[in-house]
Homo-oligomer: A and B are copies of this chain.
Amino acid sequence: MKDKEFLMIPGPTPVPESVLLAMAKHPIGHRSKEFSAILRRVEEGLKWVFQTKNDVHIYTSSGTGAMCSALGNLVNKGDKVLCLIIGNFGKRWAKIAKSRGAEVIELEVPYGKAINPNDLKEILDKDVNKEIKIVTMTHNETSTGVTNPVKDLVALVKAHGALSVVDGITSLGAINCPMDEWGIDVLVSGSQKGFMIPPGLAFLAANERAFEVHKKCEYPDFYFNWTDYKKNLEKDTTPWTPAVNLVVALDAALAMMKDHGLENIFELHKQNAKLLREGIKNLGLKLFVEDESIASYAITSVLPPDGVSVPDIRKTMKEQYDITVANGQNDLKDKIFRMGTLGFVSRRDVLTALAALKETVEILKK
């Protein structure tokens, strides 16, 4: 039905009506006092979600832009970068590092698994000359529905003296990721996920250790330059014209998040994901990630039942019930489908999705 679509993909995610209406206000001047006040408030809200005392840069870009910012402000040609890969988004770090001329080492595990900290330790122990400068990882791997043990991985990277660069694009505002407590050096995220606003903004926080390395970066990225962003943030502004309306939307969304509370947000995501996983198993379908200890609370990957194809499930869910779920990516295309419970999703939405999935499977099995 026209205008009835409900998004259960890993982004864009559902946006509250109040946020959409805040976004629809006429843009104000980005160098005005009024906008600086909004930017200051949003900045404090982002620090609260990142659980950090570091500045959070607000970029006009997709989440991938923030990933490019991370490596584009740190990597010199020939630097050794270790990329921990559990899916497509882990692989993206490796591609970005290579685009900067880095020497990339990849630790890749079968998709559906998380990185075992012992495997990371083994590689780091072998790096006796401490040549590995940066270790990249994905907190919540959207392509598979797996959450990495970032706390343990980051601790190993820190002990080794390298920088940890973490993709929190689909975990921030959904799964606990306390930047300062865990000692993450660089953490990035995006707007159209746990932050409940449309796509177009990305965020990055870097600690002092990371800034020290940045200072030695010979050709830092110009558009995402950390030094420029830091200098402008001190004056409550941005180096380039920001997506004003999206920042205003974020201000409204952060106010909602504060009302709810971080702990409650994490608990909601956990309970919604558990409800969805139980329901899927009750329907007789198989979860792609069976291990509860690494299963994502933001996105759940499901195997189609025998004799039913992923495209048919997606088509029926959309055409009959106005629910959009995602296909698998690359090698997992048509092998799994993915259901997001990320951001503005309530228990009612999960029950609705399960009811629709039940009927979809019944229709397709006939």
Q: Which residues of B contact A3 (CB under 8 A)?
A: 25-26
A101 on interface, CB distance cutoff 8 Å: yes
Q: Which residues of B contact A200 (CB under 8 A)?
A: 60, 200, 242-243, 245-246
**Stretch from A15-23, A252-260, A279-287 contacting the other chain:** A15-23
Tell me the number of copies of this protein: 2
Q: Which residues of B contact A243 (CB under 8 A)?
A: 62, 198-200, 243, 246
Task: State whether B199 touches A68 (Cβ < 8 A).
Answer: no
Total A residues in contact with B, Cβ cutoff 8 Å = 55
Chain B minimum-CB-distance residue to A190: B241
Chain B minimum-CB-distance residue to A64: B240
A12 on interface, CB distance cutoff 8 Å: yes
Task: State whether A241 touches B12 (Cβ < 8 A).
Answer: yes
Task: State whether B9 touches A29 (Cβ < 8 A).
Answer: yes
**Given A21-B24, A63-B241, are A30 and B223 also a contact pair (CB < 8 Å)?**
no
Which 8 pairs across A and B sit closest by C-beta, in order of nearness?
A200-B243, A24-B24, A62-B240, A12-B27, A99-B222, A68-B223, A64-B240, A198-B245
A-B contact list, 10 entries, CB within 8 Å: A5-B28, A7-B28, A27-B192, A27-B198, A62-B242, A63-B241, A99-B225, A190-B241, A200-B243, A223-B223
